Structure 1
């Protein structure tokens, strides 16, 4: 049966059965979660002319339970879960002229490298950023609630995003304090003494994604700031409200003009900034087409320092030996990793596994096991729980994402694939809902869009192979090259795959899902998946340039000169570890 966009079945399941296992023996938590009240920030940085006259656009999200009075003790099966959109805040819509005014103020703050922030010592900048996170910690619960409501992230994942953001920043600071590239030590090379230290680039334009609006954005923004750059943050259209909740912390911690915000239409605001040629660096996380368009707007692209994290079509390859009877435990583990890799946060991760290759003879068994696991997931609103487990499948952030999922499913079914799990691809909660039941598609073939396009959502496509070369060819000829997961114990096959893919993917995962962590490892990609490397140390190099201070000894004169210079130069000042209690005391 074809899954038609024009004849979508919206499931009106009971608010109990929605997140209960089929046995119905456990109870669930259905607290009516009131939407957050996200206020306009007091300091809009920078102070845009006529700020109060900016147009503000409501941010409307799915989903609020429209029947919150459900008796959660009885949970009658005839009481449907129905959700409705609700407004949780508003976002200013900058014009082109206002965006250009922001850039002007950023250039003034940079002042050719002589501005207040770039002229501060590393230590002073570290203490300012540490103070920012002290201030931000007070807003943790507000930000977590906003992540749940605006982008459908469950509470556990929202809390993890906030905490991991702070942990990453702390690790970056540790790297600055311990890495000689940043702390700086003198070295002797023949008769030359030299110190190499990294310095800022200039004005950095940061564009982050909706799926991890805090963590992914701050993974570029905070390192860029610590190095002395002036940053302009383009708030994403979706997932942007959390950034309004950070502004007051920034205002209390950083000198005026250090960080700037632009909101509204990216098409109206971003190209004009790039066309000026006054943007020195671009940190972009999103789609390759949009990245190319922005870069091409710059009149001197050779001067633009570029860091990109783009699309991926990561695949999972199951080797034949995985299905041997003696490897039953390994297969079970592989299935668990596959479930996490494909559907964590509804599959809305660049590192998600987005296409599975399975031996043809073993595919029916594999699909049955996969369907069984998908059917056991907790599906509901981000704050709903079953036995202490928050919903694992939650609403997609916009109706447009639902429509794209429908297009991919429709295309695959029309061309011969089947939706193998019950209600796969259907909506729960009524016509206004974006809560989609994951769809397991099998068999998926090269003539289907889902075989090539990044779904970035709750669809698991399963393809088959008779010859492993089919999967290897997909990897080598594909458009993307971020990661691959390989499941099996055949060392000959694994060695062959590693050798073939070592120049294709940034990471080869053995018997585990794809992922970015740990953050100390390089996170890179090839082809249209990335430009630049992310890790706590690599990201610092992306937003800085090494500066060398050197001299040749002349009867002790230069040694004496350097002794006095080091005491007076901000650039040469050493970095020391400072506790948070000391930072708080200094601020008070």
Structure 2
């Protein structure tokens, strides 16, 4: 029997081992999802919402346990790990409230009577949604797709990363204990080939994938000719711009946290920083001071503020980007020797800030997904805008400024799914979460997110006159 193994980045030991689903189990899950969805779609919205709320409460009761599991599975410092469950609750409960609110995007759209006709548009569930979730924010990324799909009347099969299999099990258990009917929400531990085959020949009507650009391309290829709806949240190389009028102390604190939290392993983390040249020296000095305050260490130690990357190969990938940039003339400001655990071939990696960088360097044009930030001075807004848009990615972009109108003008010209002012690396569930260019397509959360989990069905009734 084939198995998946979660190797903890803390100590390289096997933390979780699970058998991969057999073909029988896969087909059984698909059949259960299909039959369960036919009944689930008829359940009143108020009951769906209460089940979601009860499941969230179940997860919140386990917050400390789940935090420890996150820490060991993917390496986030234990000090911060429980915050993911708080974020899960915020997103799930917002979508639940929206689903049953007056003017809910799931309600029928009624049109005025016209010449003896009754007309309205109904949002119907798609059927079964396959959610493929990553390891970096294992609960947040999954809940973005799972809860809206369930609220919309779909059944869900969750395939989680091999690095975070317990998260899939915990989510399904929480909903089962809340009373969700059997078959409506299931997980499958799958390898890449079986996941691909599930899309190619499985009876799913929607795929929500969060991961790499190459992974998204594989999903698109597998779905070709099946006429599925596909949502893709892919990579990022997200920029920030600090204008001359920004509060520099605040801006630096925000950008550094946005770049190095979770060891930089965030699709919407800041990887490129552009600073007006009048503020450049101060911003660099403040950032270096701030970065040197991180404590690199084991994720299970409360004093640790920067944990290991998910695996040694991921850390070495970022090290290669840095080494190549330095060889091309970049200046590294952080002494790696001050971070005792840092060494090539290890998942423990010192943070780094680079200056004298340009867009010909991989570290400025290729997703890093690690604790490194390149900083470039700019002469004005136009140069900043051109550099921010000079990327194959377009998930988020952040502006730091005291002038909201200028920021709005710049934001209109930025090619990104979300534009921030004086904040970064945050997902508001009331707003559409989407990307452009190689950052993907489709949308999760907000009222618009429900539109991607349903199909429009029009009713046109001619009234008989007695």
Q: Normalising to structure 1: TM-score of the pair?
A: 0.72
**How far 1:479 moved relative to its partner?**
0.8
Aligned equivalent of 1:308: 232
Q: Secondary structure at the match of 1:211?
A: coil
Aligned equivalent of 1:376: 293
Counterparts in 2 of 1:362 and 1:185: CA distance versus 1, 3 Å: closer
1:226 aligns with 2:151: yes
1:89 aligns with 2:16: yes
Q: Secondary structure at the match of 1:169?
A: helix
Alignment of 1:484-503 (within 5 A): 484-489=397-402, 494=407, 497-501=410-414
2:396 to 476, 483, 489: 483
Provide the C-alpha distance between the structure 1 equivalents of 2:329 and 2:345, rounded to a whole number of angstroms.
29
Provide the C-alpha distance between the structure 1 equivalents of 2:139 and 2:85, rounded to a whole number of angstroms.
7
**How far 1:354 moved relative to its partner?**
0.8
**How far 1:299 moved relative to its partner?**
4.6
1:182 aligns with 2:106: yes
Alignment of 1:214-293 (within 5 A): 214-252=139-177, 253-266=179-192, 268-276=193-201, 278-293=203-218
Structure 1 contact 103–273 (Cα < 8 Å) conserved: no
**How far 1:132 moved relative to its partner?**
3.0
1:336-388 C-alpha deviation (Å, 9 max, x unpaired)? 121122112222112211101234565444322210111123433334345xx
Provide the C-alpha distance between the structure 2 equivalents of 1:197 and 1:424, rounded to a whole number of angstroms.
62
Counterparts in 2 of 1:540 and 1:414: CA distance versus 1, 3 Å: same
1:544 aligns with 2:454: yes
1:553 aligns with 2:466: no
1:13-70 C-alpha deviation (Å, 9 max, x unpaired)? xxxxxxxxxxxxxxxxxxxxxxxxxxxxxxxxxxxxxxxxx4434422132xxxxxxx
2:359 to 433, 446, 449: 446
Counterparts in 2 of 1:228 and 1:333: CA distance versus 1, 3 Å: same
1:270-290 C-alpha deviation (Å, 9 max, x unpaired)? 221222163311101111221
Counterparts in 2 of 1:516 and 1:392: CA distance versus 1, 3 Å: same
Aligned equivalent of 2:327: 414
- RMSD of aligned Cα (Å): 2.8
Structure 1 contact 277–300 (Cα < 8 Å) conserved: no
Provide the C-alpha distance between the structure 1 equivalents of 2:161 and 2:202, rounded to a whole number of angstroms.
22
1:121 to 30, 40, 44: 44
Unaligned runs of 5+ in 1: 1-53, 64-83, 557-588
Structure 1 contact 356–462 (Cα < 8 Å) conserved: yes
Larger deviation: 170-179 or 354-363? 354-363
Aligned residues, how many? 463
Q: Secondary structure at the match of 2:129?
A: strand
Larger deviation: 337-346 or 215-224? 337-346
2:349 to 413, 436, 454: 436
Aligned equivalent of 2:256: 339
Counterparts in 2 of 1:203 and 1:474: CA distance versus 1, 3 Å: same
Unaligned runs of 5+ in 2: none
Larger deviation: 154-163 or 201-210? 154-163
Provide the C-alpha distance between the structure 1 equivalents of 2:174 and 2:453, rounded to a whole number of angstroms.
23
**How far 1:174 moved relative to its partner?**
1.1
**How far 1:159 moved relative to its partner?**
1.5
1:241-284 C-alpha deviation (Å, 9 max, x unpaired)? 22223343344422222223222421x21221222163311101
Provide the C-alpha distance between the structure 1 equivalents of 2:425 and 2:168, rounded to a whole number of angstroms.
28
